[in-house]
Structure 1
Amino acid sequence: MDIANRTGVITGAGTGIGRALAVEFGRHNGNLLLVGRRAEPLEETADMVRSVGGQAEVFPVDITDPGAVDRVTGAARRRGPVDLLVNNAGNVRAGRLEDLPEDDVLAMINLNLTAPILLTRALLPSLKGAAVKHGSILLAISSGIALTGLPFYTVYAATKSGIAHFGEALRRELHGTGIHVATAFPGATDTDMMTSSTAGDDLGFGRRPVAEVVAETVAGLRAGDHEINTAAATRRKMQDLNKTDPLAVDALLAPRLKALESAVRTHRSI
Structure 2
Amino acid sequence: MDLKNLDLTDRRGIVTGAGQGIGRALALEFGRRGGHLLLVGRKLDTLTETASLVANAGGTTEILVEDLTQPGAVDRVTEAVAAWSTVDLLVNNAGNVRAGRLELTTDADVHSMIDLNLTAPILLTKALLPALRQSGTERGSIVLNIASGIALVGMPFYSVYAATKGGLAQFGEALRRELIGTGVHVATVYPGATDTAMMSSQNAGADLGWARRSLEDVITDLIAALQSGEHEINTAPESRRAMQQLNLTDPLAVDDALAPNLEALELAVRDHRSI
> What band does the TM-score fall into relative to the shorter chain?
over 0.9
The TM-score normalised by the length of structure 2 is 0.97
Matching residue of 2:46: 41
Matching residue of 1:268: 273
Partners of 1:118 and 1:155 lie apart in 2 by 19
Partners of 1:95 and 1:211 lie apart in 2 by 28
Report the 3-state secondary structure (helix = DSSP H, G, I; strand = E; otherwise coil) of the residue aligned with 1:10.
Answer: strand
Partners of 1:79 and 1:57 lie apart in 2 by 12
Q: Within the alignment, does 1:18 sit opposite 2:23 as a pair?
A: yes
Matching residue of 1:111: 116
Matching residue of 1:181: 186
The one-letter code matched in structure 2 to 1:33 is L
Report the 3-state secondary structure (helix = DSSP H, G, I; strand = E; otherwise coil) of the residue aligned with 1:133.
Answer: coil
Partners of 1:190 and 1:56 lie apart in 2 by 25
Task: Give runs of ≥4 in structure 1 deviating > 6 Å.
Answer: none
Q: Within the alignment, does 1:234 sit opposite 2:239 as a pair?
A: yes
Report the 3-state secondary structure (helix = DSSP H, G, I; strand = E; otherwise coil) of the residue aligned with 1:237.
Answer: helix
Partners of 2:84 and 2:51 lie apart in 1 by 15
The TM-score normalised by the length of structure 1 is 0.99
RMSD of aligned alpha carbons: 0.6
Matching residue of 1:246: 251
Q: Contact 1:31–1:79 at 8 Å: present in 2 too?
A: no
The one-letter code matched in structure 1 to 2:164 is T
Partners of 1:215 and 1:69 lie apart in 2 by 30
Report the 3-state secondary structure (helix = DSSP H, G, I; strand = E; otherwise coil) of the residue aligned with 1:77.
Answer: coil
Q: Contact 1:4–1:29 at 8 Å: present in 2 too?
A: yes
Q: Contact 1:7–1:80 at 8 Å: present in 2 too?
A: no
Write out aligned runs for 1:109-148 (5 A). Answer: 109-148=114-153
Partners of 2:224 and 2:241 lie apart in 1 by 18
Match of 1:91 among 91, 96, 102: 96
Partners of 1:77 and 1:23 lie apart in 2 by 23
Instruction: Give aligned pairs, total.
Output: 270
Q: Within the alignment, does 1:223 sit opposite 2:223 as a pair?
A: no
1:138-174 superposed Cα distances (whole Å, 9 cap, x missing partner): 0000000000000000000000000000000000000
Partners of 1:237 and 1:36 lie apart in 2 by 34
Q: Which runs of 5+ in 1 are unaligned?
A: none
Match of 1:199 among 201, 204, 222: 204
Give the drift of 1:36: 0.3
Matching residue of 2:65: 60
Partners of 1:178 and 1:144 lie apart in 2 by 27
